[in-house]
Every structure is written in C-alpha cells, then in structure tokens.
Amino acid sequence: MKVEFCDNQFCENEAIKTVPVSVRRPGDSLRKLCAACYEAYAIGAQHGRFIENSKAFSKNDVRFLKQF
C-alpha cells in the first residue's frame, strides 16, 4: 500500500482526502490534503462562497451588473 502525503508544501502529514482546486478554471485540478489542511480548505471555500453571494446582491436583492 502506497502512502500519499499532503500536497501542501509546508505539511508532511499523510493525505486523507482529494479535493478539487482552481488553477486556471474552477475545479480543474485535484490536490491531496491531510485532515488539518482539508479543514482550512473547507473553511476557505465556504468563506469564498459567502463573500461572492454578498457582493452579488445589493440590499434590495437586485443583482449588480458589471460595467466595463
């Protein structure tokens, strides 16, 4: 049985989960993470989704349009 390690460059723990990450497009790459790094990944992914939703809607629940 081959032991796989966390893909975080600062971590040397055994990987427990493989998660999708964005390199060029959303979810275009997979990374192996240990338990501690997975928890940080999950919190960061949730934070990003909440921030995106709060920026997308105004106080009147009207979607902002990007003007270029």
Q: Where are the domains of the chain?
A: 1-59
Residue 63 pLDDT > 80: no
| pTM check: above 0.75 | no
d(CA 17, CA 19): 6
Segment 38-62 mean pLDDT = 63
Residue 15 DSSP code = P
d(CA 40, CA 30): 16
Of how many residues is the chain composed?
68
Segment 53-64 mean pLDDT = 53
Beta bridge partners of 19: 31
